[in-house]
Amino acid sequence: MKHNRLQNHRLSLISTVAAFALSAIVALPALAADDQADVLTLVRQHVAAQTNFDVPALAALTADNYVEVSPMGEVDTREKMLAFYAPEKKTATPIITVEEPLVRVTGGTAVLIGKLAISVNAGGQQRQMAMRASYVAVKDGSNWKLMSAQYTGIAPKRPAQ
């Protein structure tokens, strides 16, 4: 009799642990999806802050050790990036959209690779161009912040010859 109670207790304990483990596993994809959406929102806010030369927003969205590689291949610290977007340096505002986002999250680090579609008015004509951008975000408490960005120009397609 004692053996059956012990065996039932073990089965009950194993069932409880298995149920808890299964619920934790089922919750992980939901958390990852939330993090992916949060990182995409962060990148879109960063792009909007750049477009608007919004230095306070850029400062709030980036980590203290933020660094970026410009489309020209220059490595810029956070301070240099913030100085570039000073309101008095604002020029014609392009329209920039984040397309083709691919987000990977591992723990408190995320990488987003996407295409920045840019529409700018140059000499009275709308000009379309694009860049591939890679962002690294880190979790800061319950929020995400950008730690780095790299921008690479996408050459326009050449007409068939």
3-state secondary structure of 45: helix
Give the separation between CA 1 and CA 70, rounded to whole angstroms: 74
Say yes or no to pLDDT of 84 above 70.
Answer: yes
Enumerate the β-bridge partners of residue 133: 114, 151
Query: Each residue of 120-147: pLDDT tens digit?
Result: 887 888 889 999 999 999 998 989 999 9
Enumerate the β-bridge partners of residue 106: 109
Query: Each residue of 97-118: pLDDT tens digit?
Result: 999 999 999 999 999 999 999 9
pTM: 0.77
CA atoms within 13 A on the CB side of 63: 19
